[in-house]
Amino acid sequence: MINGKTVLAGVIGWPVAHSRSPMLHNHWCKVHQINGAYVPLPVAPGQLEVALRGLAAAGFRGVNVTIPHKEEAFRLCDELTMTAKRAGAANTLRFEDGRILGDCTDGTGFCDNLRAHAVSPSGFVLILGAGGAARAIAAALQDCGCDVFITNRTAARAEALVSALGAGAVLPWADWPARLGEMQILINATSLGMGGHDETDWPSILQQAQLGLSVADIVYTPLQTPLLRAAQQRGLRTVEGLGMLLYQARAGFHAWFGLWPEVDKQSFDLLMADLT
């Protein structure tokens, strides 16, 4: 039951009704018998600062921030972790003494999901895409010591990402399949495959990969994207995107509720049931 001692957190987005974060965090509160509640908070563009200051004043412990507010949240933070600075975005905010403290957990969540699938974040890594998720993932992988290559249909975006990170290399979109044999990890950080829509000839492309390649996708609807299906048929290790959602949530839960929750089969199955 919610009472005067309930710790409050939530997720801000526009729209936000689709977010699975409330289901996950409230599940963890129940499992660990924490008097906490995590709620969806629809905040229209242009209203983020008013919302954040109001929630902090109302006693909320903190919030997650999702589309379209991540970059603005980054600008509004009074203090940022080095991870957030490298990612250029903040998705996990904590309120403390009237100040907004920002972190970005997307990249570290991605790396934790790799490790959960017995994939070491090391070696040569090729990332498809140059958006916000790609930057957070690239920064985290570089922090793990990886050599990161970025490719994007719009070359200028890939070049801007590498410039912002201060490290990495750009591969032209037309050329990256020919370089696949050099890579240890391939990551799809684009919307390719979302909803099952993807006309890319992945079986032909993946024939150029070494058999030790690991293939990861940040898309999780469907869980098995066309890229991951083709990788499995080629005998490659695959990493689905739903685990990233679970692992990136842990740091926020700890910041607000004081406990590191376990990403277990029950947590995974809970979100899987909501996808089907």
Q: What is the CA radius of gyration of the chain?
A: 19
Cα→Cα distances 203→63, 149, 256, Å:
41, 21, 44
Q: Is 5 a catalytic residue?
A: no
Torsional class of 9: left (φ above 0), alpha (ψ -120 to 50), beta (otherwise)? beta
DSSP conformational letter for 30: H
CA nearest neighbour of 9 among 58, 47, 77, 74 = 58
Does residue 172 have a cis bond before it (omega within 30 degrees)? no
> Catalytic pick from 5, 70, 85, 265?
70
Q: List the Cα angle 92/228/230 in 5-degree steps.
A: 165
Sheet with 7-13: list strands edge to edge: 36-42, 7-13, 62-65, 92-96, 99-103, 79-80
DSSP conformational letter for 191: S
155, 173 Cβ separation under 8 angstroms = yes
Task: Give strand pairing partners of 216.
Answer: 187, 239
Torsional class of 265: left (φ above 0), alpha (ψ -120 to 50), beta (otherwise)? alpha
Q: Which residues belong to the active site?
A: 70
